[in-house]
Amino acid sequence: MSQSGKRIGVVLLNLGGPTSVEAVRSFLENLFGDQDIINLGGGRFQNRLAKVIAKLRYKGVAEKYREINACPDGCQGSKYCPNRQNKVVSDCCSPINSLTELQRKSMEKKLKESWPDHFVKVYTAMRYWVPFDYDVFEEAVADRIDHLVLLPLYPQFSFTTTGSSFRNWEAIRDGRSTDSPQPEWQEYLVGQYHLNPKYLSAINKRIDERLSEDFTDEERSKVHLVFTAHGTPLSEVDKGDPYTRQIEETVDAIMKMRSYRETHWLGYQSRVGPSKWTQPNTEELVLRLIDYGIKHMVLIPVAFVTDHIETQHELNIELREVIAEKKKHLVKMVVSKGLNDHPDFLAALEDEISQKIGHITGTPQQVGKNVQNLSEPQGI
């Protein structure tokens, strides 16, 4: 690094996932205690209710994580993971931990190659489990970062995901003691990148992988594409949350790239509580399609860029169990792999970072003149 080089940090913001059976309960408490993602009244009432919900649910949820345990041979997660620190082999670790660490390492290597004259470090800050954002904040301060990019691993903006992460990061900054070393960085926020051409290309290639590897030439003409995303309460949509609209824009852009060759559908999963959520529900949609006579499907997680419980268990295990229980018949249903460390997805992230600090690195990039690039969320 030259003497004129900058100290650049990139923080990948993600949901996080438990690393052990014991961690599942704490993870659920943190998740249900966040009023941004699930509004149960807020304050002490929500915190108490979150503890009750976690106590009632954690054993059942832990069994699901056991079925998709990501680290059977030892920890593949971050340096903050208790399993790594204590040299423990977990039988109940979310795949989001090791895969986000893979994304972090891959991104850091890519940026260092692109910007050899600068100090570059990529961090991961999880919202509900390790590595916690407040630990990563202190690490970036200690590293004397002077340009910091917050990059959510949520392509579509929602107040419940990206918004929650941004607000918590701000609260950490505002809540630090004045006696502590203060951050001196210029901060940049990537709000959304749901129409970034390379992100869309990565999803498109994941679809092609499934079509070519899992279906014969004859079967491909019968395949229906079922895009699926995490649902959101309709009350959030009514308040102006752009997430659902952006999901629809992403799906439309992907199908346009595919020249609308396949019939496609869009569903929403993971609804919680009695309130009304975005429709149709993915499980109900798939069952209805089977009743229509559709027997070949590819399920495409369009908003989940890192495989975790909602892709590997909810779609690939639970949904299949429901189909069998209801005695529905399918010839073939496959779930598209998450983007994870797909080269096109990493390139999309680099594009978004360069859009923010290209004036620093000397490598500004254009995201595509014919594709809308919304880098700043509204209302933040």
CB burial of residue 49 (10 Å; 0-12, 13-18, 19+):
middle
Q: Domain 197-335 is of which CATH architecture?
A: 3-Layer(aba) Sandwich (3.40)
The pLDDT of residue 289: 98
Give the C-alpha separation, 216 to 206, whole Å.
17
Q: What would the pLDDT profile of 44-83 be if each residue is shown by its tens digit?
A: 999 999 999 999 999 999 999 999 999 999 999 999 999 9
The model scores a pTM over 0.85: yes
Position 39 pLDDT exceeds 80? no
Quote the strand ranges of 93-207, DSSP E: 119-126, 147-152, 186-189
Same fold: 7-193+342-361 with 197-335: yes
Rounded to an integer, the average pLDDT of 240-263 is 98
pLDDT at 364 over 90: no
Name 186's bridge partners. 147
Contact assessment for residue 94 and residue 70, using Cβ atoms and an 8 Å cutoff = yes
Average pLDDT rounded to a whole number, residues 277-285: 97
Q: Are 96 and 17 in contact (CB under 8 A)?
A: yes
Per-residue model confidence as pLDDT tens digits over 293-317? 999 999 999 999 999 999 999 999 9
- Residue 304 is predicted with a pLDDT of 93
Write down the architecture of domain 7-193+342-361 according to CATH: 3-Layer(aba) Sandwich (3.40)
**Residue 367 reports pLDDT greater than 50:** no
Band (9; pLDDT cuts 50, 70, 90)? very high
- Predicted pLDDT of residue 271: 84
- Each domain of the chain, given as residue ranges in start order, spans 7-193+342-361, 197-335
Q: What are phi and psi of 122, to 5 degrees?
A: -110, 130
